[in-house]
Amino acid sequence: MGHPGAVTADTATGAVIRVRGVDKAYRNRGGEPVVANRAIDLDVGRGEVVGLLGPNGAGKSTLVRQLVGLARPDRGSISLLGHDVVARPRLSARFVGYLAQTEPALDDLSVSSAIETTARLRGVPRREATRVAAELVDELDLGDVSRRPLARLSGGQRRLACVAAALAGDRPVLVLDEPTTGLDPSARRGVWGAIARRRERDGTTVVLVTHNVVEAEQVLDRVAILDDGIVIACDTPGRLKAAVTDDVRLELVWREPPPYDDATVAMLASRARVEGRRWQVRLPHAEARPALDRLLTGPAYGALDDFTLATPSLEDVYLALGGRSDDLERE
Amino acid sequence: MTTPPTAPEIVGDVEGAAPLAPPRGPSLPSAIGAVLAGQLARARVARGPLLFVATVQSVGILVLMRGVVSPHQRATASAVVAGATVLVVAFVGLNLLAQRIGALKAASALDYYGALPIAPAAFVLGVAGAYAAFTVPGALVTAVVGVLLWGLPAGGIWVVLPVCVAAGLALCGVGAVIGLAMPRPELATVAGQLAMTAILFLGVIPAARFPAGLDVLRHLAPGTLAVDALAAVLHGTGSVGGVAWRLLVTAAYGVVALAVAGRLFRRALDR
C-alpha cells in the first residue's frame, strides 16, 4: 500500500510539528479554571520520536489533544506539516494516527474489527482495511485474541489492541498517549519495534506521552519534560542527563531501622527521599563512593538489606530541574 | 529552573515551503457505514434485552388501552396503536441514544471519533442509524399486536418501515442533541427519560382528546407527524401524499436536529 502521507521534499528537512506559545486552561468538574499548558514551545522534526515526560497532571495529554485538533489552544499556534491546525483543527485528523489515554469507543468491537474499523475511518478501502488489520494483528502478536471484544481482554491486551488501531492506516504522524501503560515487557518491546519500523520505513514522526523513564531513555530521540504545564527541558536523553552528570543515585533498602547516630547515615537521611524502607539519595559522584564505603564498613552495614549506585536517570533530570512530583514510573 | 525548550535536531522548518497535502479521509457514506457497523457490533452485545423492554412497554400500553378503547372507536384505536409504535422508536432512539452518547462523552470516548478524518455528521448519523435500525423489529411487533387487538386493517402495516426511518431520524436527532448537550451523563439520562415520557403522552393520547392549549406541545414534538401518518393509514383515511408529506417533515426535523448535534459534537470535545 502506498503511504498516504509520503513526505515531500519541501518538508523533508523541516519541523513536522511546530508549537509556539501555547496556553490552555480548562474548567474542572467544579467549574474552576485549571491551567494545563503555559507558553509551550516545541518542534518535532520528520522521523523523530519525541516524548513528553512528566507526572500525572503535568499537561501532557492536554497538549497532545491540541496537536490532534480535539482541543483549541487559548493562545499560541500549532502547525502540522505546514498547516495551521488551530485555524483548521479538523486537518489534524487527516495527518495523525492518535491513541487516546483510554479508548472506550472500541470496547464492544473485536480486536480485528476495531483495527479494521479504524482503518476504514481513516479512508482505507474496505478490502484493504481487512488486510491492514490482519497484518497489525500479526505484527503486535494479537492472533490469540483477535476475535474477542476489547472489553473482555486484560488491560494490557486491550491497550495493545488500541495501539494497533492507532497504527492502522499509516499516518505520517503518530501521537500516542501512554501507548505502553499496562503492557508486559515483551508487548512493550513489540510496540517500540512497531514504532521504529514505521520511522525507518516511512519517516513517520512520533510524539509519545509517557511517564515511564525507562521508555523515555530507550525509545525517544528527544524528551520534553513537562511539569505543572510548562516544558522545563527539551533535549536528547543523553544531553539532559549530562546536564546533571555530577550526580549519581544511591538507593538503600534497610532491613532494620537505620542507625541515625552514624554520621554518614545522618547525612544521607537529611537528603534522602524516603519510601518506607527504601531511601533514594542524589549526590555528587565524588561524595557517593566514600559514603557508600563508610556504610559498608561501618555499623550501618548490619541494618542494610540492599543497595544500588546508579548513573542519573531522566527522573533525576526531572528532579534536578525542579520537578516536584514523585509519580514517574521507573520500571 | 526553566530552560528554553529548543529543538537541536531541527535543521529547517516548513515556513515558506508548500504545506504537504493532507491524506484524504473516507467519503461520508463510507464513514457513516463504518460507524454504523461498529455500533451494530455493539447491538449484538447489549441491545437485545433493552429492545425487548421497549417492545414490552409499548405492547403493555396497548393491552391497557384495549380496556378503555373499544373496537368501534377506530380513529382512537388507530391513534393509540400509532402512538405506541412510535414510542418504541422514542425509547430506543431518544432515551437510549441520549444515554449512550452521554456515557460516551463522559468516558472521553468521543475523542476516538473526533481524532478521525470524518465529519461529525458521520458519527452522529452512524450512531443514530444503528439505533434507528434497532427499533424496527419492536415497532413492527407493536403495530401487529395493535392491529390484532382492535381488528384494524393490516394492509398498512408496511408503513411502519418508513415511519421508523422518519421518526428514527427525528427522535435519534433529538436524542443525540440531548446526549451531547448535557454536561453530565446522569442529566442526559434524566432528560432522555423525560423526553420519552413526553413523547408517550403526546403520541398515545389521540389528537382529538388533547386538552386545549396543550396541543401546541403536540405539534412541537418530533414524533407527532409520524404518529399521525401511521394513524391515518391504520384508520384507512391516509392519502399517499398526506402520509409522505408528514414523514418528510418529520425527517426534516431529524436533519435539523442531527445538524445541531454535529455542531455540539465539536464543542463536546474541547472540554
Q: What is the tens place of the pLDDT at every residue in A155-203?
A: 999 999 999 999 999 999 999 999 998 899 899 999 999 999 999 999 9
A40 chain-B contacts, CB cut-off 8 A: 5
> Which of A202, A236, A270 lies at the terminal end of a domain, its last residue?
A236
Whether A94 and chain B come into contact, CB under 8 Å, resolves to yes
pLDDT of residue B118: 92
Confidence band of A108 (pLDDT split at 50, 70, 90) = confident
Confidence band of A73 (pLDDT split at 50, 70, 90) = very high
H/E run at residue A21:
strand A15-27
Confidence band of B131 (pLDDT split at 50, 70, 90) = confident
pLDDT at A4 over 50: no
pLDDT at A48 over 50: yes
Q: What is the rounded CA–CA span in Å between residue A298 and residue B253?
A: 84
Cβ A65 vs Cβ A85: under 8 Å: no
Q: Which of B26-35, B58-67, B217-226, B255-264 has the lowest mean pLDDT?
A: B217-226
Q: Taking CB atoms and an 8 Å limit, are A221 and B34 in contact across chains?
A: no
pLDDT of residue B170: 92
Cβ B132 vs Cβ B39: under 8 Å: no
Q: What is the rounded CA–CA span in Å between residue A81 and residue A10?
A: 10
Mean pLDDT of chain B, nearest integer: 85
Whether A12 and chain B come into contact, CB under 8 Å, resolves to no
Does residue A74 lie within any of the structural domains? yes
Q: What is the rounded CA–CA span in Å between residue A161 and residue A144?
A: 12
Q: Taking CB atoms and an 8 Å limit, are B6 and A120 in contact across chains?
A: no
pLDDT of residue A201: 93
pLDDT at B207 over 80: no
Helix (H, G, I), strand (E, B) or coil at B240: helix
pLDDT at A30 over 80: no
Helix (H, G, I), strand (E, B) or coil at A176: strand
pLDDT at B9 over 60: no
Q: Taking CB atoms and an 8 Å limit, are A43 and B115 in contact across chains?
A: no
Cβ A156 vs Cβ A128: under 8 Å: no
H/E run at residue A16:
strand A15-27
A102 chain-B contacts, CB cut-off 8 A: 107-108
CB pairs under 8 A between A and B: 182
Number of domains within chain A: 2
Does A304 lie in the same domain as A203?
A: no
Mean pLDDT of chain A, nearest integer: 88
Q: Which residue has the higher pLDDT, B186 or B209?
A: B186
B110 chain-A contacts, CB cut-off 8 A: 105
Q: Taking CB atoms and an 8 Å limit, are B107 and A102 in contact across chains?
A: yes
Q: Which of residues 6-35 of B touch A (CB under 8 A)?
A: 6-15, 17-20, 22-26, 30-31, 33-35
Rounded to the nearest angstrom, the gap between the alpha carbon of residue A172 and the centroid of all alpha carbons in its chain is 19
Which of A92, A115, A121 would best serve as a mutation to test chain B binding (most B beta carbons within 10 A)? Answer: A121
B31 chain-A contacts, CB cut-off 8 A: 120-121
Instruction: Check if the interface score ipTM surpasses 0.95.
Output: no
* A125 contacts: CB under 8 Å, gap ≥ 6: none
Confidence band of A2 (pLDDT split at 50, 70, 90) = very low
Confidence band of B12 (pLDDT split at 50, 70, 90) = very low
Q: What is the rounded CA–CA span in Å between residue B57 and residue B141?
A: 12
Q: Which residue range forms the structural domain that includes residue A142? A: 9-236
Does residue A317 lie within any of the structural domains? no
* Separation in Å, CA A75 to CA A233, B48, B266: 21, 48, 19
Does A221 lie in the same domain as A194?
A: yes
Q: Which of A4-8, A14-18, B129-133 has the lowest mean pLDDT?
A: A4-8
The identity of residue B130, as a single letter, is A
Cβ B126 vs Cβ B35: under 8 Å: yes
pLDDT of residue B46: 64
Does A61 lie in the same domain as A193?
A: yes
E strands present in A161-212: 173-177, 205-210
Q: Taking CB atoms and an 8 Å limit, are B5 and A224 in contact across chains?
A: yes
pLDDT of residue A5: 40
Confidence band of B92 (pLDDT split at 50, 70, 90) = confident
- Give, as one character, the DSSP assignment of residue B183: S
Residue A324 half-sphere exposure toward CB, CA atoms < 13 A: 7
Confidence band of B113 (pLDDT split at 50, 70, 90) = very high
Does A113 lie in the same domain as A62?
A: yes
Which residue of chain B comes nearest to A2, CA vs CA? B23
Q: Taking CB atoms and an 8 Å limit, are A117 and B12 in contact across chains?
A: no
Cβ A17 vs Cβ A173: under 8 Å: yes
Whether A90 and chain B come into contact, CB under 8 Å, resolves to yes
Q: What's the rounded mean pLDDT across residues B14-22?
A: 58
Out of A4, A40, A41, closest to residue B23 by CB? A4
We report the CATH number of the domain holding residue A175 as: 3.40.50.300
Q: Taking CB atoms and an 8 Å limit, are A122 and B11 in contact across chains?
A: no
pLDDT in tens, B219-264: 788 888 999 999 999 998 878 899 999 999 999 999 999 999 989 9
Q: What's the rounded mean pLDDT across residues A283-306?
A: 89
> Which of A204, A236, A268 lies at the terminal end of a domain, its last residue?
A236
Q: Residue with C-alpha cell 483543527?
A: A89
Cβ A284 vs Cβ A312: under 8 Å: no
Does A283 lie in the same domain as A208?
A: no
Whether B137 and chain A come into contact, CB under 8 Å, resolves to no
pLDDT of residue A330: 60
Q: What's the rounded mean pLDDT across residues B74-95?
A: 91
Cβ B88 vs Cβ B138: under 8 Å: yes
Out of A10, A94, A106, closest to residue B14 by CB? A10
B25 chain-A contacts, CB cut-off 8 A: 93-94, 121-123
Give me the DSSP letters along A275-300: ETTEEEEEEEHHHHHHHHHHHHHSGG
Q: Taking CB atoms and an 8 Å limit, are A93 and B117 in contact across chains?
A: yes
pLDDT at B143 over 90: yes
Whether A68 and chain B come into contact, CB under 8 Å, resolves to yes
* A44 contacts: CB under 8 Å, gap ≥ 6: A15, A16, A17, A18, A50, A205, A207, B7
pLDDT of residue A241: 83
Q: Taking CB atoms and an 8 Å limit, are A18 and B13 in contact across chains?
A: yes
Helix (H, G, I), strand (E, B) or coil at A273: strand
Q: Which of A165-179, B170-184, B191-205 has the lowest mean pLDDT?
A: B191-205
Does A190 lie in the same domain as A231?
A: yes
pLDDT at A7 over 70: no
Q: Which residue has the higher pLDDT, A318 or A97?
A: A97
Closest CA to B59 of B167, B125, B132, B147: B147
How close A302 comes to chain B (CA, Å)? 40
Q: Which of residues 156-195 of B touch A (CB under 8 A)?
A: none
| CA angle at A171 for the pair A165 and A174, rounded to the nearest 5° | 75
> Which of A212, A236, A260 lies at the terminal end of a domain, its last residue?
A236
Confidence band of B11 (pLDDT split at 50, 70, 90) = very low
A98 chain-B contacts, CB cut-off 8 A: 111, 115
Query: What are the cell numbers at A299?
Result: 555499623
Does A216 lie in the same domain as A185?
A: yes
We report the CATH number of the domain holding residue A304 as: 3.30.70
Buried/exposed code over B32-68 (b: 16+ C-beta within 10 A; e: otherwise): bbbbbbbbbbbbeeebeebbeebbebbbebbeebbee
Which residue of chain A comes nearest to B26, CA vs CA? A123
pLDDT at B214 over 90: no
Q: Which residue has the higher pLDDT, B51 or A2?
A: B51
Closest CA to A111 of A79, A74, A143: A143
Q: What is the rounded CA–CA span in Å between residue A194 and residue B180?
A: 36
Does A305 lie in the same domain as A270?
A: yes
Confidence band of A105 (pLDDT split at 50, 70, 90) = confident
Out of B2, B26, B109, closest to residue A123 by CB? B26
Q: Which residue has the higher pLDDT, A223 or A321?
A: A223
Out of B35, B104, B111, closest to residue A70 by CB? B111
Does A173 lie in the same domain as A50?
A: yes
Helix (H, G, I), strand (E, B) or coil at A41: strand
Q: What is the rounded CA–CA span in Å between residue A265 and residue A249?
A: 15
Q: Residue with C-alpha cell 514510573?
A: A329
Which residue of chain B comes nearest to A224, CA vs CA? B5
What are the structural domain ranges in chain B? 48-269
The alpha helices in B28-182, defined as continuous H runs, are 28-66, 74-89, 97-106, 110-114, 120-150, 160-181
pLDDT of residue A205: 95
pLDDT in tens, A271-289: 998 888 999 898 888 888 8
pLDDT at B43 over 80: no
Does A221 lie in the same domain as A166?
A: yes
Which residue of chain A comes nearest to B5, CA vs CA? A234
pLDDT of residue A86: 93
Does A231 lie in the same domain as A123?
A: yes
pLDDT at A111 over 90: yes
Does A225 lie in the same domain as A255?
A: no
How close A219 comes to chain B (CA, Å)? 16
pLDDT of residue A74: 94
User: Which residues make beta-bridge pairs with A234?
Assistant: A224
Closest CA to B196 of B86, B82, B47, B95: B95
Q: Which residue has the higher pLDDT, B241 or B41?
A: B241
How close A139 comes to chain B (CA, Å)? 22
Q: Which of A214-218, B174-178, B190-194 has the lowest mean pLDDT?
A: A214-218
Reduced DSSP (H G I as helix, E B as strand, rest coil) percent helix, strand, coil of chain B, to 5:
75, 0, 25
How close B45 comes to chain A (CA, Å)? 7
